[in-house]
């Protein structure tokens, strides 16, 4: 069925998914070492929403519960939703843009560049905070952007950026960045633990200030990418075709790459490198709704948010009170899925040939 005729169904399902997301926020809020009931969690959340706050009464709830929900769990939940949404949308965009199912912020080196930036800041002892954002986060942001500029310029030939060259340059720079990070870790054994949090990805240091700092960036970039859905569709079926259909391919590629890099840099700067979300989620969503970016992008946003929220809830509750870096959970989920995709592809190839 074509997109235009299925549009209303798609919108309806999307609204249902959003509703599920809201429910999960409540469930995730009740889980944790302090015992707070599902109903209380929702009452606390609603009491903080401007229009709804007069309708709920939170006088009978313990002040400590309110504090745990609003100051500890909620910012972390919101942050995980934002980051999941962003990584997944960026992954979808890069895969469409480069017509390559492996494309991801990791492959392009953006994530590892950010990790290296953070490691350098930690080793240099720059632990100051500006408006709640650590200098290491600022370094991660700079590292991510520097990496993509280097990768892009290596790949650029005669004013064009061929996909294969870009991916290969990305992989090469990724290796350099991650080896340098590891070298820094070996030489600074006392700071290994702090750096490890960056390379594995964790949301344990979530705060409202971080949400406010990266929220608008992630929100704006996701929305603007969704407005490029039609261009992405045409580029994903071929660059020459897109050109002859009136798309300025090189300009669009550059613009989307910049948006993706900034958004990823923002994510990595608060959570470290979280792997596989950008590959696994877009693939699952593509299997379910097809390759049309007008559907794929919004669904990836919601799917990524759901996936990340579940993973991070597991990260903070599975081994409570210890906090497992969420990057480990996402990779543990994501990698087997990748194997599944490969096996499925292999079976298909054998049955055809």
Partner 1 sequence: MKDDKIICVEKLSFSYSTRATLKDITTQFIKGKVYGILGPNGSGKSTLLKNIARLLSSEKETIYISDKALNDYKRKELSQKIAVMPQNTSIDFDFCVEDIVMMGRSPYLGRFDVETESDMEIVNTAMNFTGVYAFKDRSIKEISGGEMQRVVLARAIAQQTEILLLDEPVSQLDIHHQLSIMDAVTKLAENKGITVVAVLHDLNLAAQYCNEIILLNDGEIYKTGTPEEVLTYQNIETVYKIVCLVQKNPVSGKPHVFPVKSL
Binding site residues, partner 1, CB under 8 A: 1-4, 96, 99, 227, 230, 233-234, 236-238, 240-241, 243-248, 286, 290-292
**Smallest distance from the beta carbon of 198 to partner 1, in angstroms?**
34
Cβ-Cβ contacts under 8 Å for 198 (sequence gap 6 or more) = 115, 118, 119, 122, 136, 140, 272, 273
User: Shortest approach of partner 1 to residue 244 CB, angstroms?
Assistant: 4
Query: Cβ closer to partner 1: 158 or 350?
Result: 158
Nearer to partner 1, 43 or 283 (CB): 283
- Long-range contacts: 34-43, Cβ < 8 Å, 24+? 34/64, 34/65, 34/68, 36/65, 36/68, 36/69, 40/65, 41/69
Q: What is the DSSP string of 87-119?
A: HHHHHHHHHHHHT-TT--TTTTTHHHHHHHHHH
**Nearest-approach distance from CB 289 to partner 1, in angstroms:** 9
Q: Closest CB to partner 1 among 174 and 300?
A: 300
CB of 300 to partner 1, least distance (A): 14
State the nearest-atom distance from the C-beta of 293 to partner 1, in Å.
Answer: 9
Minimum distance of partner 1 from residue 2's CB (angstroms): 4
DSSP state of 33: S
- Of the pair 4, 186, the CB lying nearest partner 1 is at 4
Nearer to partner 1, 239 or 312 (CB): 239
Please report how the helices 249-271 and 110-123 are oriented relative to each other, as an axis angle in degrees rounded to 10: 40
223: its two tokens: 């929305």
Question: Which lies closer to partner 1 via its Cβ, residue 3 or residue 219?
Answer: 3
Q: How far is the CB of 234 from partner 1 (least distance, A)?
A: 6
Provide the minimum distance between the beta carbon of 284 and partner 1 in the complex, in angstroms, as a whole number.
14
**Rounded-to-integer distance, Cα 143 and Cα 105, Å:** 13
- State how far the Cα of 305 lies from the Cα of 302, in Å rounded to an integer: 5
Q: How far apart are alpha carbons 234 and 181 in whole angstroms?
A: 38
Element spanning 195, H or E = helix 192-200
User: Which lies closer to partner 1 via its Cβ, residue 41 or residue 252?
Assistant: 252
Give me the least distance between CB of 220 and partner 1, in Å please. Answer: 16
What residues form DSSP beta bridges with 134?
Answer: 129
Alpha carbons 261 and 193: distance in angstroms, whole number? 26
- Which residues, at least 6 apart from 50, have a Cβ–Cβ distance to it below 8 Å? none
DSSP string, 174-186: HHHHHHHHHHHHH
Comparison of 46 and 338: residue with beta carbon closer to partner 1: 338
By C-beta, is 209 or 294 nearer to partner 1?
Answer: 294
Assess contact for 218 and 86: CB atoms under 8 A: yes
């Amino acid at each position: 069925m074509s997109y235009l005729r299925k549009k209303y169904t798609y919108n309806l399902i999307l609204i249902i998914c959003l509703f599920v997301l809201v429910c999960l926020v409540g469930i995730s809020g009740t889980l944790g070492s302090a015992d707070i009931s599902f109903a209380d969690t929702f009452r606390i959340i609603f009491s903080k929403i401007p229009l709804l706050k007069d309708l709920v009464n939170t006088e009978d709830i313990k002040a400590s519960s309110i504090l745990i929900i609003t100051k500890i769990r909620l910012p972390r939940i919101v942050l995980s939703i934002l980051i999941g949404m962003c990584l997944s949308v960026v992954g979808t965009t890069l895969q469409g843009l480069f017509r390559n199912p492996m494309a991801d912020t990791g492959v392009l080196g953006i994530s590892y560049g950010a990790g290296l930036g953070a490691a350098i800041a930690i080793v240099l002892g720059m632990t100051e905070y500006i408006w709640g954002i650590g200098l290491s986060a600022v370094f991660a942001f700079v590292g991510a952007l520097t990496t993509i500029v280097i990768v892009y310029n290596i790949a650029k030939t005669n004013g064009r950026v061929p996909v294969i060259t870009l991916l290969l340059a990305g992989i090469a720079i990724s290796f350099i960045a991650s080896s340098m990070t590891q070298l820094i870790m070996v030489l600074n054994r006392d700071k290994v633990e702090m750096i490890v949090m960056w390379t594995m990805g964790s949301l344990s240091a979530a705060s409202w200030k971080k949400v406010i700092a990266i929220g608008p960036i992630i929100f704006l970039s996701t929305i603007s990418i969704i407005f490029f859905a039609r261009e992405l569709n045409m580029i994903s079926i071929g660059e020459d075709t897109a050109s002859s259909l009136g798309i300025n391919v090189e300009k669009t590629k550059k613009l989307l790459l910049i948006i993706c890099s900034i958004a990823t840099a923002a994510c990595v700067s608060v959570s470290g490198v979280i792997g596989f979300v950008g590959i696994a989620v877009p693939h699952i969503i593509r299997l379910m709704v097809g390759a049309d970016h007008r559907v794929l992008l919004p669904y990836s946003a919601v799917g990524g948010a759901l996936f990340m929220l579940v993973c991070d809830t597991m990260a903070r509750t599975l081994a409570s009170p210890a906090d497992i870096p969420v990057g480990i959970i996402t990779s543990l989920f994501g990698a087997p899925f990748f194997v599944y995709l490969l096996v499925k592809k292999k079976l298909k190839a054998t049955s055809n040939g």
